[in-house]
């Protein structure tokens, strides 16, 4: 019976009992939260980091309080040294886990596809005659290649169905249509990536007198 008065025995029984209950809850289907979510790497990394942080901080606080409040020597000093060894081990493991966790998060963010973008449209020649030929140039980037594009004048309907060249280069010749006196014609360029996201740019056309 004296063995059951040892707090270490009770702690071991508590850990084994809690683990058994969690496993049973997952098998039966009662648990719809933590254990189910542990299958997701992001959740598991965050939970493990959180648990190690709480454990390490708790042991560090206990060791500090012991050092500030205990004045006796002897066996208690040996226990303090053992506690410091455990804390040093946890700090090393905790530092590794935190570094891996934040490194994985940064890598994951860097691998996320960037937003689909179009450079400023270059129109040549400028100015151009009312019915002259105009070359439209631009570069598409980000998103999910391959890209498709469409170029129109004014408010015409855009249907990206032409394939963008290598490196995201877009080169297209269009004929400028006559516009009402005093109106400024403009060119619209729209690009669509493989995932269906779209981006658009507009540029005004300078007409020759």
CB-based contact 52:91 (threshold 8 Å): no
Tokens 């990394």 correspond to what residue?
A: 45
Q: Are residues 166 and 90 in the same domain?
A: no
The answer to whether residue 199 is domain-embedded is: yes
Q: Whole-model pTM?
A: 0.48
| Residue 3 DSSP label | G
Is the domain of 80 the same as that of 178? no
pLDDT digits (tens, 9 = 90+) for 170-195: 999 999 888 888 788 899 999 999 88
Same domain, 141 and 97: no
Q: What is the dihedral of CA 126, 127, 130, 132, to 10 degrees?
A: -40
Domain span at 187: 117-204
* Domain boundary residue, one of 66, 91, 111: 111
Task: Say if residue 145 is in the same domain as residue 54.
Answer: no
Domain membership of residue 172 (yes or no) is yes
How many DSSP H helices and E strands does the chain contain?
4, 8
CB 200 within 8 A of CB 121: no
In the predicted structure, residue 3 carries a pLDDT above the cut 70: no
Residue 173, in any domain of the structure: yes
Same domain, 91 and 55: yes
Q: Could you say which of 77, 92, 111 is where a domain stops? A: 111
| 124: in domain | yes
Q: Report whether pLDDT(202) > 60.
A: yes
| 1 against 117, higher pLDDT | 117
Sign of CA pseudo-dihedral 138, 143, 146, 147: negative
What does the pLDDT look like over 160-175, one tens digit per residue?
999 998 888 999 999 9
pLDDT of 126:
83
Same domain, 55 and 107: yes
Nearby residues of 117 by Cβ (< 8 Å), 6 or more positions away: 140, 141, 142, 143, 199
Last residue of some domain: 85, 111, 137? 111
Same domain for 11 and 97? yes
The reply to whether 209 falls in a domain is no
19 belongs to a structural domain: yes
Residue with more model confidence, 71 or 95:
95
**How many folded domains does the chain comprise?**
2
For the chain, the C-alpha Rg in angstroms (whole number) is 33
Per-residue pLDDT of 110-160, as tens digits, reads 455 578 889 999 998 888 887 889 999 999 988 888 899 999 998 888 889
pLDDT in tens, 9-49: 666 677 677 767 766 766 666 655 655 566 666 677 777 77
Contacts of 204 (CB under 8 A, 6+ apart): 184, 185, 186
Q: Average pLDDT, stretch 50-60?
A: 74
Cβ of 100: how many Cβ atoms within 10 Å?
A: 13
């Amino acid at each position: 019976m004296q063995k059951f008065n040892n707090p270490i025995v009770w702690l071991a029984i508590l850990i084994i009992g809690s683990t058994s209950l969690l496993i049973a809850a997952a098998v039966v289907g009662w648990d719809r939260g933590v254990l189910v979510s542990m299958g997701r790497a992001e959740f598991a990394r965050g939970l493990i980091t959180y648990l190690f942080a709480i454990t390490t901080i708790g042991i560090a606080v206990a060791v500090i309080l012991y050092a500030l409040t205990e004045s006796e020597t002897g066996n208690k000093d040996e226990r303090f040294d053992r506690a410091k060894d455990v804390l040093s081990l946890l700090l090393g493991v905790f530092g590794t886990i935190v570094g891996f966790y934040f490194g994985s998060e940064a890598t994951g963010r860097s691998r996320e596809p960037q937003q689909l973008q179009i450079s400023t449209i270059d129109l040549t020649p400028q100015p151009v005659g009312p019915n002259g030929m105009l070359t439209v140039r631009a570069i598409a980037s980000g998103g999910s290649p391959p890209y498709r594009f469409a170029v129109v004048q004014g408010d015409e309907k855009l249907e990206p169905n032409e394939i963008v060249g290598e490196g995201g280069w877009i080169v297209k010749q269009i004929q400028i249509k006559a516009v009402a006196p005093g109106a400024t014609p403009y060119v619209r360029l729209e690009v669509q990536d493989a995932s269906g996201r779209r981006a658009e740019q507009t540029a005004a056309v300078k007409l020759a007198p």
